Chain A
Amino acid sequence: MPALLRRLSRTDTVSGWALVSPAAILIGIFGLLPVLMSMQLSFQKSDLLSDETPWVGFDNYKKLAEDPVFVEAIKHTLIYTALFVPGTMLVGLFVAAALNRSVRFISVYRTAAYITMAVSTISQGIIFLWLTDRDYGLVNAALNSVGVSSQPFLASPSQALYVIVAMTIWGWTGFSVIVYLAALQGVPPELHEAASIDGASAFTRFRTITVPLLAPANLFLLVWLTINALQLFDEVYVTTRGGPLRATTVVVYYLWDRAFVQFDAGYAAAMAYALFVVILIVTAVQFRLARRHVHS
């Protein structure tokens, strides 16, 4: 009997590995190996093309700390994240609250709100370049009609980053509305009914019943949007190419530029690792803080 059991478990191990191996090989080569290679590369000098990659120790990391463009890129990324994440959450919650009712055509309204999710970052960027065009843009026409003069928007070093914030909030509206709508639909209507019988106002009910029940959705969006904000690239590439005057050069844009335009891959790998560590720390901190909040 034990021999049979052993034989069975051995065949299980064979069939288990057989089924898992395609995925394990693919993820091993393109998911795990690059993490190690990136680490190695960050201690080397590499132009991506030649086979000569001399070892430079911690030089890339030292250079990173003294690179004014990198410091600037971090600043831009943090400003962007600090505005984009709460902005998207507020817009998403507001729209989801409006859509959380059963009226006629509600599915049409919801589709209209979700649809931004399907729009690629490149399409979105081209549309917003045109909407915010300094000379012929629809936004400037709207501003003029209420007596505000035309703005340069993406052509201005002081405004471009904020235009990208607004643009990406629009792009993520569909996503955040879906998350909040699912959470709002999970709020039992009996709670609201009971509270309104007790005389609670709509605002009080929202604050004391709905908001606490939204905590898991808030946590998810906070973490998810922050991770994505720290990785901002496409929208910057298509609208401003990091300009004007590097005003929208964010970390990943600079990382891409260093690696694939200037062919300074070792340095870029060090930057990538720094970004990785920051993302891990931010995620861990948000989880720690939010978990305390969700449970209390």
Chain B
Amino acid sequence: MTTTQRPPTETAALQTNPPSERRRLRLPFSPWHLVLIPLTFILIVPLLWMLVTSLETEGEANRFPPVLFPESPQFSNYSEAWAAAPFGHFFVNSAVVTLVVLVSNLVVCSLAGYAFARIRFLGRGALFVTLMATLMVPFQVTMIPVFLIVKWFGDNVWEGLGIDHIGALMLPNLATAFGIFFLRQFFLTVPVELEEAARVDGTSRIGVLFKIVLPLSLPALSTLAALTVLTSWNDFLWPLIVITSQDQMTIPLGLSYFQGAHRVKWPLLMAANVMSLLPMLLVFIGAQRYFVQSVASTGLKG
């Protein structure tokens, strides 16, 4: 299949783009590499320098001009950093918070997005406008009352939802107006005939949503998932406000705490930093397509 398709595309490329093809015959590579290599190198220098420092001895790090290549890589920095703070807790907390927030957002926003897209119900327009209005309110404006509300939930509903518990990190983020808007827009593009057929067969609204609409909406759900994971995983201000105990900290907060305790031990700090970054970098590279789309989708919000 692929072998039969290939030749035409190659000849097409030759026809539409003869100058670059001729140049490629002279140079073994496109001259653009001479621009792109230094450019991208400069962009990732901060990350590379973090990696280099994480493998140096403290003596090497405190030398000027800096040592660019450590004599023998100190992998022990990683185990030492891991032992110096409860990083295991930080990772588990971040993973649990992100997972709960992700699943909740996908489910709750799907339900609401579907209702707003397909069901005519009393008060729909007014409710939609009211919910969307929250898109204009930055978190910094509401964080003080949100703190008070979460504190109330901890005192009156369940301790695990209150101040200094990871439940407090999930509770205000379980649904977002953006998620509803984004999924509603996508559901509107799903052909309604498919749903009508199922409805005539007696399938319930929920059944139609889960059996027909959501399977067709995987690209939109993945994009929303990427955005939610990135936001939740890297969130800092809200955890800083509600969490004080080490065993309830997420990675960014734990890393900031670690920084306070080991201020000038740069190799240790950088090893901790590499470990903190790794999960998100791997997820990002693996699902890059959806992260790229999520940026485009935030454009709808602006």
Q: How many A-B residue pairs have CB under 8 A?
A: 279
Q: Is the CB of B120 within 8 A of A99?
A: no
Q: Please, which residues of chain A bring their CB within 8 A of the CB of B32? A: 98, 101, 103
Contacts of A273 in B (CB 8 A): 141
A239: min CB distance to chain B, Å: 10
Alpha-carbon separation in the docked complex, A276 to B143 (Å)? 12
* Majority secondary structure of chain A interface residues (helix, strand, loop or mixed): helix
B contacts with A: majority SS: helix
Asked, given contacts A136-B66, A252-B140, A275-B140, whether A114 binds B292 with beta carbons under 8 Å apart, the answer is yes
Query: Count of B residues near A, CB < 8 Å?
Result: 96
Pairwise interchain contact A123-B277, C-beta atoms closer than 8 A? yes
New A-B pairs, 4, CB < 8 Å, besides A130-B49, A144-B65, A231-B140: A13-B123, A20-B116, A22-B112, A24-B127
Give the CA-CA distance A173 to B47 in the complex, in Å.
Answer: 14
- Can you list, as one digit per residue, whether each of B31-73 has a CB less than 8 Å from chain A (1) or not (0)? 0110110011001111101100100000001111110000000
Q: Are A255 and B140 in contact (CB under 8 A)?
A: yes
User: Which chain B residue shows the least CB distance to A119?
Assistant: B277
Is there contact, CB below 8 Å, between B111 and A19? yes
**Is B299 on the interface with A (CB-CB < 8 A)?**
yes
> Is A113's beta carbon under 8 Å from chain B?
yes
Q: Is the CB of A276 within 8 A of B138?
A: yes
Would you call A179 an interface residue if the criterion is a C-beta within 8 Å of the partner chain's C-beta atoms? yes
**Distance between Cα atoms of A119 and B174 in the complex (Å):** 23
Q: Name the B residues within 8 Å of A178 (CB-CB).
A: 292, 295-296
B82 at the interface (CB under 8 A from A): no
Interface hit among A32-40, A151-159, A201-209: A32-40
Task: Check if B171 is an interface residue, CB within 8 A of chain A.
Answer: yes
In the bound complex, residues from chain B placing their C-beta under 8 Å from that of A32 are: 130, 133-134
Give the size range of A's interface with the partner: 35 or more
Beyond A99-B36, A136-B66, A233-B140, is A22–B46 a contact (Cβ under 8 Å)?
no
B 145-184 binary contact with A (CB < 8 Å = 1; else 0): 1111100000000000000000000011111110010000
CB-contact partner of A48 in B30, B134, B147, under 8 A: B147
Q: Is B64 a contact of A135 with CB atoms below 8 Å?
A: yes
| A109-130 interface code vs B (CB 8 A; 1 in, 0 out) | 1011111111111111011101
Asked whether B35 lies within 8 Å of A98 as measured between CB atoms, the reply is yes
- Among the stretches A54-62, A66-74, A80-88, A264-272, the one at the interface with B is A264-272
**Would you call B205 and A15 a contact (CB within 8 A)?**
yes
A114 touches B35 (CB 8 A): no
Within 8 A of B (CB), among A204-247: 219-220, 223-224, 227, 230-231, 233-234, 237-238
Using an 8 Å CB-CB cutoff, how does the interface string of B171-207 with A read, 1 for contact, 0 for none? 1111111001000000000000000000000000110
**If the complex has contacts A27-B131, A98-B35, A131-B46, are A238 and B256 also in contact, measured as CB distance less than 8 A?**
yes
Q: What are 6 A-B interface contacts by the 8 Å CB criterion? A: A31-B134, A103-B36, A104-B29, A123-B252, A138-B45, A145-B65
- Partner of A120 from the list B40, B61, B124, B234 (CB cut-off 8 Å) is B234
Residue A141, interface by CB 8 Å: yes
**Distance (whole angstroms) from the CB of B78 to the closest CB of chain A:** 15
When distances are taken between beta carbons in the complex, the residues of chain B under 8 Å from A161 are none
What residues of A have a CB within 8 angstroms of the CB of B121 in the complex? 12-17, 20
- Given A38-B145, A130-B266, A138-B49, the answer on whether A16 and B280 have CB atoms closer than 8 Å is no
Q: A-B pairs with the 7 shortest C-beta distances?
A: A16-B121, A37-B145, A34-B142, A23-B112, A34-B145, A31-B134, A118-B284
- A120–B142 CB distance below 8 A: no
Q: Which residue of A lies closest to B35 (CB)?
A: A98
CA distance in complex: A128, B133 (Å): 37
